[in-house]
Chain A
């Protein structure tokens, strides 16, 4: 044992030990959860027909991977989600920018935005799908509808709460409205816009899954709803599992981007 550790080294060692402990606990929790589930299903405490079991889910997943069928479903859902995310977020930010330019327009549209925001957008999904068609287009429109209004409202809110003094400083330089937007409003809100994207990932997934529940012959949502209808709970669970992994990966990509952006500063 090296007893000549400085306080700094002790601190680092302590920190690393705590971090390791947290990771171990997290892994332990997963193992415990899956292990108990498997055990209870095997001995009959849980009804395998209703609750499925981890080994059956993995077996099914391997089967889907081998037949390459899963990639088709994942691909379609991912495409729909990404389209919904990109279009919903950018359209929302563009509308927020337009509203930022005109206070009067914002005031006129305010009550409508509030109502649209409060309305559960999934209730609109059947109509939207009838309007936009039952293919990928309809599902993407549902995904957009979930993130659009929220994006407009929160982006506009961020834009309007830019530091008053900085605004005055730019005005003292006789900056135009567009210069204020590009030099101050947008750059000072990069972090906020990234957090809107993070929220919209979840929103787009909800939209896509709801859309696929309603109409579709492919996609994770289709797998889940089909599995439910034929009482193949293995399939439902597998769908949820794949969904969780995909959503986490997308979230991770944004977080990495956020870190890169922070370091660049």
Chain B
């Protein structure tokens, strides 16, 4: 399969007057088309930096990040503009890129994801799960090849989190987007991803890469994944690997 993203010996440091902070050390990995990859690691280990490198918001000090695809970013916070209604929020990216908005297509998407009745509502009037779906649509309408999810579920309460994870997983699978998910939640990583990359503490390097195979008889969804017998094995493996007391 085609490679969508490739990291080759990537190093990245941040500089301040107090000195250099080495965040990423010799990072190498490949993401294939349509793959869902979760990146997990202790906090402050440079997970988000990897996303910034893929999206071009920052550039590596050494090494290469190879990707020439359109990238869509989704954040921990939905970042909806509360002075714009749902429709205007979804088309924000198109507005900035000065693209023509196909309202019929947006309406179709809104209908599909159960938001059509809220088209002219303001973010304040939506639930946390709905807001997150609007945020995802804002990214999806630009038709990115790669989706970058930066802890998109961590601000939701547990119940909502589970449903939104299912919703968003379905959307990703349907649209066959290559996805990089950054998270600190081990269960979330196993439930959603095909591949889990475990990072070490700062300066982070890749400790291990797991291919997740839950041996499900039916089609995978995050909720069903949690019922798999192999789920807890992966959990224990990754938990040990992360070893926060190290």
A residues with CB within 8 A of B: 163, 165-166, 168-175, 179, 183-184, 187-188, 190, 265
Contact = CB atoms under 8 A, between A and B. Distances in A.
B17 interface: no
A184 B122 CA distance: 16
Contacts of A187: 81, 83
A265 B57 contact: no
Contact of A173 (B75, B82, B93): B93
A173 to B, nearest CB: 5
Contacts of A175: 96
Interface residues of B, number: 19
Contact of A179 (B73, B76, B83, B96): B96
B82 to A, nearest CB: 8
Contacts of A190: 83
Nearest to B76: A165
B57 A183 contact: no
Interface of B: 55, 57, 71-73, 75-77, 79, 81-83, 92-93, 95-97, 122, 142
A169 B76 contact: no
Contacts of B142: 173
Judged by DSSP, the binding face of B is: loop
Given A173-B92, A175-B96, A183-B92, A168 B75 contact: yes
B84 to A, nearest CB: 8
B79 A265 contact: no
A169 B55 CA distance: 11
- Indicate the member of A171, A172, A174, A183 with the most B CB atoms within 10 Å: A172
A173 B71 CA distance: 9
Given A165-B76, A172-B73, A265-B122, A188 B55 contact: no
Contacts of B79: 163, 165-166, 169
Contacts of B92: 173, 183
